[in-house]
Structure 1
Amino acid sequence: MTTADFPANLHGIIPPVVTPLTPDFQVDEASLRRVIKHLLDGGVHGLFLLGSTSEVVFMDAPQRREVLRIAVDEVAGRVPLLAGVIDPTTDRVIAHARDAREAGVDGLVVTAPFYARTSQAEIVEHFRAVHEAVGLPIMAYDIPVCVGIKLERPTLRRMREEGLIVGLKDSSGDDTNFRLLARECADDPEFRLFTGSELMVDTALMVGAHGCVPGLGNVDPAAYVALYDAAQREDWRAARQVQERLIRLFAVALQGTPRTSAGASGVGGFKAAMRLLNLITHHHMNRPNLPLNDQEMERVRAILEAEELLVHA
C-alpha cells in the first residue's frame, strides 16, 4: 500500500512505535531510526507514532516534533504514518495536530479529552474542532483506562456519519462491543477498524477488524505480519498458532510488576527486550516510570531465548 491509498485501504499491522531515550531523557535519534528500520524490515503496513507505547503524554511539543521529523525522514513515504495528537484539551490537540501536518504525516490519532470530565456530546465537539482546524484524516482512539471515558458506539456512529473520523483503534478491552461495532460497520467498508489488543488479533480479524496496533510488534513485527497474512488466507489454524506464540512472548510486558505499574511494565518490557535485541541503546522510561532492573531484564532475556528471538549465550 502507498500513502496515496490512505485512508481507504489502511490495513494490517501498524505498531505504535516505542520512543527510545538518551540517558538525559531526550529522543535517541540513532536508536529510533534502528527501530523504524526493524519494523519496516518486518513487513509492517504502517506506523503509529506518539501513541501510548511511545510514552506520548510525557513528551513536550519539541520532543514530539523531533520524533515526527526522524520518522518521516526515515520512512520516506514507504508506509503510511499516523501521529498521535494526545493531550487533555482541544486547543493543545489542535496545536500538536498542526505540527504533525507540517511534519508530513498521513493521518492523526485522537482520544477523548481527559483529566477534565467530558460528556459524549463534548467529545464529538472535540473531534469536530480538530477535524475543522487541521483537515487530516482522524483515527479515533478508544482507551478508557487512560482517558477515563469510553467512546460509545452511538458517538462513533455520529462522528463516522459526519465524516469526522475514518477509523478506530480500540484499546478498550471490550471484545463484545468491538464485535458489535464490526457488525455495525460492515456496510461501511471504508471505515477502518483496528484492535489494540495484541493478544486477541486472530479473533478480531475473524470478526471484521482491518488490522492491529500491537505494542509487542516493536519486538517481533514479522510475527504479527505472519499472523495477519494467515488471517487474510483464512488459515485460522496457522493464525492461532502464531497468536499463541505471541501470547507467550507477551510475558516480557509482565516482568516489571509489581515493582512498577502495569503500563510501565508493559512499555518497559518492550524496551528491555529491544535493548537485548540491540535495537535501542538504553531502556530508560520517562519519569516517573521506572525501567526494568537487572533481575527483571534477565527474566526478559529468558523469554526471548525461549521464543528463539535471542540466541542463548
Structure 2
Amino acid sequence: MTLSTPLTGVVPPVCTPLTPDREVDTASLVRLVDHLLDGGVDGLFVLGSTSEVAYLTDRQRALVVDTVVRHAGGQLPVLAGAIDMTTPRVLDHVRALTEAGADAAVVTAPFYTRTHPAEIARHFRLVASASAVPVLAYDLPVSVHTKLSAELVLELAADGVLAGLKDSSGAEGAFRSVLLGRRAVPVPFSVLTGSEVTVDAALAMGADGVVPGLGNVDPAGYVRLYAACREGDWERARAEQERLCGLFGMVTAGDPGRMGGSSSALGAFKAALHLRGVIACPVTAEPQIPLSPRETEKVGKHLAAAGLL
C-alpha cells in the first residue's frame, strides 16, 4: 500500500490494548483494527499520543507496527509515529517502522532539549532526507512545548520535506493560515485536524481529514461526519458533530484530584472499547492511574447517550 497524496478522510490514532501485566495485547489490537476497518476509516495511525507511544518500549512499538501492518494487509495506509526527543533517536524509529512496512512516518519537533526554529527545520529536513517513506509533521505543543509556525510548515511543504501535517495544537487561526498558505505550495500536501470536536469547522475551512482519538470508540460516527461535510450537508454534519461532542465528554470521567488528563482521556477510550467488547482489558500504561468502577460507569453513560451501548 502506498500513501495517497494528499491523505484524506478519517485516520484514527489507534489505541494500544495492553494485558493486565502491561504487555501489548495483539489479539485485542487485531480486533480493534477490524473494528476500525468495519467503521469505514481511510487510514490508521499507530504510535501516536492516543497509542500511548511515550509509554511503550522500542520492542513494544515494533510489535504494534508489525501487528497492524500485517493485519491491515495493504487495505489502507498505515502511518506510524517516530516520536522521540532528538534527530538520531527519531531516525532509528523511522528505520524500524519502514522495515515493518508502514507507509509514512509521523514526527514531532524535538523536545526536552531547548530548540530554535532553525534547529526544528533542520530536524525535519534530516529526517525526511533519510526516510524511505513520506514524513508528516505532528504539531503537538502541549507535549513537545514548541508550536510549529505556519511559515515553517509551509516552507518545508514547499520544499517537499513534509507530505502533510497533523495539527493538534488547538490554534485554529494558525491552522487556517496553513490551509490558506497551502494554495501556493507547488506539491501535494495534506492537512489534517487532530481535534475531535471541531471537525466540521476544520473541513469547512479546507482540511483534508481528521485524526480523532475518539474515532477508536466510534469510527463510523466520524466517517458519517466526514461524508456529510464532503457532501455539503452541513445540518447533518452539525448534528453528527454535536453527538460526538457529547460522546467526547467521557474524557473528563477521571477525577482530576487524583489523575492527570491523559490518564482520564486514554482510560476513558480504553474503558469504552472494553465496554463495547472490542478489547479484553482497559488498562493503561504505567504510571497512568486507572479509572475506578464509578468513573468507568460514567464512560458507559456517555456511550449509552450516544447510542453505542
Same fold by TM-score greater than 0.5 = yes
Equivalent-residue separation in structure 2 for 1:234 and 1:88 (angstroms) = 41
Closer, same or farther: CA 150–185 of 1 in aligned 2, 3 Å: same
- Aligned with residue 93 of structure 2, among 93, 96, 101: 96
Equivalent-residue separation in structure 2 for 1:42 and 1:231 (angstroms) = 17
Measure how far apart 1:9 and its partner are. Answer: 3.6
The amino acid of 2:308's aligned partner reads L
CA contact (8 A) 1:7 1:166 kept: no
CA contact (8 A) 1:15 1:213 kept: yes
* Residues 251-288 of structure 1: per-residue CA shift (max 9 Å, x gap): 11110131311122111110010110111111111111
Residue 291 of structure 1 corresponds to which residue in structure 2? 290
The amino acid of 1:154's aligned partner reads E
The amino acid of 1:155's aligned partner reads L
Summarize the alignment of residues 269-280 of structure 1 with structure 2, pairs less than 5 Å apart.
269-280=268-279
Equivalent-residue separation in structure 2 for 1:204 and 1:134 (angstroms) = 29
Mean Cα displacement is larger for which, 141-150 or 177-186?
177-186
Measure how far apart 1:190 and its partner are. Answer: 1.6
Summarize the alignment of residues 1-313 of structure 1 with structure 2, pairs less than 5 Å apart.
3-4=1-2, 6-188=3-185, 190-258=188-256, 259-310=258-309
Measure how far apart 1:135 and its partner are. Answer: 2.6
Q: Which runs of 4+ in 1 moved over 3 A?
A: none
Equivalent-residue separation in structure 2 for 1:8 and 1:251 (angstroms) = 33
Equivalent-residue separation in structure 2 for 1:7 and 1:218 (angstroms) = 22
Equivalent-residue separation in structure 2 for 1:193 and 1:61 (angstroms) = 28
CA contact (8 A) 2:8 2:209 kept: yes
> Structure 2: which 5+ runs fail to align?
none
Q: How many residue pairs were aligned?
A: 307
Equivalent-residue separation in structure 1 for 2:158 and 2:111 (angstroms) = 24
Measure how far apart 1:183 and its partner are. Answer: 1.0
The amino acid of 2:296's aligned partner reads M
CA contact (8 A) 1:260 1:289 kept: yes
Measure how far apart 1:20 and its partner are. Answer: 0.3
CA contact (8 A) 1:90 1:113 kept: yes
Q: CA RMSD of the aligned region, Å?
A: 1.0
Equivalent-residue separation in structure 1 for 2:4 and 2:232 (angstroms) = 24
The amino acid of 1:201's aligned partner reads V
Measure how far apart 1:308 and its partner are. Answer: 1.3
* Residues 135-175 of structure 1: per-residue CA shift (max 9 Å, x gap): 31011000000000011112112211221101100000001
The amino acid of 1:290's aligned partner reads I
Equivalent-residue separation in structure 2 for 1:186 and 1:263 (angstroms) = 36
Measure how far apart 1:37 and its partner are. Answer: 0.3
CA contact (8 A) 1:13 1:45 kept: yes
Measure how far apart 1:23 and its partner are. Answer: 1.1
The amino acid of 2:198's aligned partner reads M
User: Normalising by structure 1, what TM-score?
Assistant: 0.96
CA contact (8 A) 1:88 1:116 kept: yes
Equivalent-residue separation in structure 2 for 1:278 and 1:11 (angstroms) = 29
Three-state SS of the structure 1 residue aligned to 2:191 is: strand
Equivalent-residue separation in structure 2 for 1:182 and 1:158 (angstroms) = 13
